[in-house]
Structure 1
Amino acid sequence: MGASDDRMSAEDRLIADYFKPIATHPGALALTDDAAFVTPAPGTDVVLKTDAIIGGVHFFAEDDARDVARKALRVNLSDLAAKGATPLGFLVSLALPKDTSADWLKRFALGLREDAEAYACPLFGGDTDRTPGPVMVSISMFGSVPSGAMVRRAGARPGHRVFVTGTIGDAALGLVLRQGATWPLTAAQREHLLARYLLPQPRNALAEVVRAYASAAMDVSDGLAGDLTKLCRVSGVAAHIDVAAVPLSDAARAAIAADAAMRETALTGGDDFEVLCTVPPARADAFRAAARAAGVPVTDIGVVEAGAGAHFMDGGRELAFHRLSFSHF
């Protein structure tokens, strides 16, 4: 992003009008150059993450552009939280159809600015392109951790407890609602599920706690069952999960009561953007207390064991899922 002279092109004007006000860090160079820079603090590592959202896949055409921008930023913030990292800033690449209105861009920039300020995560630059397809927003985010302290997926060991933040399955059930489900829900329950799909609540307030106590961590983006299976695979362990312990919202419980098949959707569906982590048993109580102090609910849902895979137990019976998680391919 950047304008070269006073004879501004349409793209340069778009950048100056909508994105330059968000680029508040000196290293962004007011979006007047082809690149930007950031100087990490001594004794820190830079953590890098990129994720994209696409119209018709991650959001609907009728969704408010303000919320589209916030979702794009928050799905990346969620990954930083799971790594124990503090946000430093981000780059955005935006592919827009020809008929994109100035009002859409204004709402998009508003949402991006609101969350950039709320999460202390300024814009450093990016790119704008025209596309014949739906809107695509790609965020590349960077954060910092003390050197060597990034929490990886690979640290889970037998005996460690498995924790998850918040509630599971709300976003996946919200998507099913958007697609026409007619469960007997209250207005508040319906709104809760729809909001969780549209706008994630990244757990960045827990990042320092994750870094201090977790042996392994990742965010739940593709579904609890599949993402825990990935963590177990990288760590070379298994996990035994008590399905009854998995935290569900009242709205999710109501949806599952109306349609029992939705339990699998809740356990395997994507877009939760909660933090999944393992904690040594001797540190579990301290982890709970630190999470409570940070204002983030956490739930112990099982234990790491020797072996392979994530085993979801309903009483004495292991659940068999049609698929472990959402996949684009």
Structure 2
Amino acid sequence: MAGEFDLIRRYFNYPTSHTELGVGDDGALCVPRPGMQLVVSTDMLVAGTHFLPEADPGLLGWKAAAVNVSDMAAMGAEPRWITLAISLPAVDESWVAAFARGFRDCCEAYGVDWIGGDTTRGPLNLAPTVFGEVPAGRAIRRDGARHGDDVWISGWPGMAALGLAQVLGELQLVGAWGESCLERLHRPMPRVALGCALRGTASAMLDVSDGLLGDLAHILERSAVGAVLDEPALPLECLLAACRRTERATAALLSGGDDYELLFTAPRERRGQVEAIGRHCELPLHRIGRILDKPGLWLQRGDGVCEALPGRGYEHFRN
């Protein structure tokens, strides 16, 4: 059986492209480019909370890296380096090899150097830390939304939630859109190109990990504003095609997480710029509401009636 250092040497030691010193010493040596600010984020994945213990290790490796890379996209930053601390209940070399391949595949897809980490024995737990760069003063934060801004969402949020419902046996999805829901659950695609393109256009932004309503509430709280969502503008088409149930599709869109789409606000006068960015990134961008100057979150139905919405997503110590 391989020991800790054998595991690191065999599965966690890869060449780097823009790092002075990677795996093999007490620390890595990284040099940010001139004029850049360093952006740092950690997203932990715990067996039984964020993924099923029997999850495919290759897909899990991709996802562990992707959810962290997505945090860079959410700030308009370019991901550059990543570390991984991992605890394993036992050494299964075939599992470790598949996991490491998936993690590395995601890093290579987004130009990220894997520069180190730690391994230990314990419950299955994955704790990457990602480091990125953004031009000084250009990061897109959560606190910039202003009265009159449009609210936008990228892609098709809710797909991962439907995929999880099928995995748990709660729902049977249909057709190609159903297959896409499973793909989005297991292999999320961080919107790095979109996040970087929105610098100077978006006023506030984050990635949707705990549900659209709950994550929008973070922007509203940090920006001290409210919002109203336009029900007819909500992107439900693919969700309805996958599950054929309006209530379930709407719940997945508004409350489902794990999509890692970008939710952002932008001034009304920049609609043309946002639409052009969407075309350039070959990604649908949906204008789903607007920012208000009073606190609260509402849904405006097609008949003009407004109803209050809960502004709370998934919380680990409450749900």
TM-score range, shorter chain: over 0.9
Q: Which of 222, 228, 239 matches 2:227?
A: 239
- After TM superposition, the structure 1 = structure 2 runs for residues 205-284 of structure 1, keeping only pairs within 5 Å, are 205-250=193-238, 252-254=239-241, 257-258=244-245, 260-284=247-271
Flag the 1:28–1:310 CA change in 2: closer, same or farther, 3 A: farther
Tell me the distance in 1 between the aligned counterparts of 2:275 and 2:246.
Answer: 33
The 8 Å contact of residues 214 and 277 in structure 1, kept in 2 or not, is answered as yes
| Match of residue 79 from structure 2 | 87
The residue that corresponds to 2:111 in the other structure is 120
Shift of 1:96: 0.6
Contact preservation (8 Å) 1:88, 1:121: yes
Partner AA of 1:224 in structure 2: L
Which is further off, 318-327 or 240-249?
A: 318-327
Q: CA deviation at 1:173?
A: 1.5
Range with greater deviation from structure 2 (57-66 or 211-220): 57-66
Asked if 1:292 corresponds to 2:279, the answer is yes
2:187 alignment partner AA = L
User: Does structure 2 retain, via aligned residues, the 8 Å contact 1:170–1:249?
Assistant: no
Per the TM alignment, residue 55 of structure 1 is displaced from its structure 2 partner at its CA by 1.7
Structure 2 match to 1:328: 316
**8 A contact 1:59–1:198 mirrored in 2:** no
Which of 43, 47, 66 is equivalent to 1:51? 43
In the alignment, residue 272 of structure 1 is paired with which amino acid? D
Superposed CA deviations along residues 248-271 of structure 1, whole A, max 9, x for unmatched, are 352x11456336245223311211
Work out the CA distance in 1 between the residues paired with 2:249 and 2:283: 26
Matched positions, count: 315
CA distance in 1, matches of 2:244, 2:300: 19
Select 1:21's aligned residue among 10, 14, 18. 14
Aligned pair 1:60/2:43, yes or no? no
* Alignment-mate amino acid for residue 114 of structure 1: D
1:289-321 Cα deviation digits (max 9, x unpaired):
022112222111111111112222223344556
Asked whether the equivalents of residues 19 and 113 of structure 2 are also in contact (C-alpha less than 8 Å), the reply is: no
For structure 1, the residue ranges without an aligned partner over 5 or more in a row are 1-8
Q: Deviations over 1:88-134 (max 9, x none)?
A: 11110111112x41100110111112111111001111110111x3x
Which TM-score applies when normalising by structure 1? 0.90
Q: Which shows bigger deviation, 227-236 or 60-69?
A: 60-69
C-alpha separation between the residues in 2 aligned to 1:187 and 1:81? 30
What TM-score does the superposition give when structure 2 sets the normalisation length? 0.93
What residue identity is the alignment partner of 2:117?
Answer: G
Match of 1:111 in 2: 102
